[in-house]
Amino acid sequence: MVVDSNFNVRDLLGCQPSSALFQEYIKGLVAKSPEDNADVPDVKSYSDIVYFNYYHLGASLSFVPRDGYKLKMGMKRDELKDESLALDGIDIYNMPPSKPTDAQAKSRRTAELKYSTYPISPINLPLTAEAKDKDGNVVERPSEISVTPQTSGKEFVHALGEPDKKGGGAGPSSGSIGIFCSWSKDGIMVEFGGQEAIGPQAWERGKDAVWRVITIFPAEQT
């Protein structure tokens, strides 16, 4: 299996951590990383979800329990029952190569600073064949969006259309989160980074903000 720009990461959803497809995917990313032990995840478990954080690969994969399996906080990798876990979300990171300034560091969650940039570019994300606007009219869209580390907010909106959910930026409920947009029927959420994505005028400047995290999740069925 070749893990490159044409690999559809959405095919991983529902996989177990020890499944052949998931393991081949991780091996494919590791082959593109110069770091040692890049294939060893930092496992963070909670009562309803467990994260496999691959910092050197720029990816965090979240698994949810199934068939009545009960997770506990602080479980180690060898304590998990792989056959009772299913991949439910994929976070892909785009981190700048230079060290962030104090202001930039404060605008990010501390854990995110550990991540490298995802080693594959461009990332080709398939889109649903048919999308409709708020009035129910069919909107023509490309079959996929090709994402590079420089892809900005306006390029996402141009390809996917207006998001059905958005938030972040400034305000007491937003904290350090940059602006984000979600397209539930495509199963794609994008959080944007840089100074354009935070502050009182974040939404005015957001069209020029470059993505920081792309989350792939099960698409909403119509």
Question: Does 85 share its domain with 125?
Answer: no
Nearest to 118 by CA among 218, 28, 10: 28
Question: Does 137 share its domain with 64?
Answer: no
- Inside any domain, residue 142: yes
Question: Does 125 share its domain with 211?
Answer: yes
Question: Does 28 share its domain with 79?
Answer: yes
Structural domain boundaries, residue 25: 9-89
Burial of 53 (0-12, 13-18, 19+ CB in 10 A): middle
Whole-number pLDDT of residue 172: 45
Question: Does 132 share its domain with 56?
Answer: no
Question: Does 165 share its domain with 208?
Answer: yes
- Inside any domain, residue 208: yes
- Inside any domain, residue 101: no
Domain count, the chain: 2
Q: Which residue has the higher pLDDT, 98 or 192?
A: 192
- Inside any domain, residue 103: no
Nearest to 217 by CA among 125, 133, 135: 125
Q: Which residues contact 218 (CB under 8 A, 6 or more apart)?
A: 13, 88, 187
Q: Specify whether the CB–CB gap between 22 and 87 falls below 8 A.
A: yes
110/5 Cα distance (integer angstroms): 29
Indicate the pTM of the whole model: 0.89
Express each pLDDT in 198-218 by its tens digit: 766 777 777 889 999 999 999
Question: Does 125 share its domain with 197?
Answer: yes
Q: Specify whether the CB–CB gap between 120 and 5 falls below 8 A.
A: yes
Phi, psi of 84 (to 5 degrees): -110, 15
Express each pLDDT in 143-170 by its tens digit: 999 999 999 999 999 999 889 898 887 6
128/137 Cα distance (integer angstroms): 15
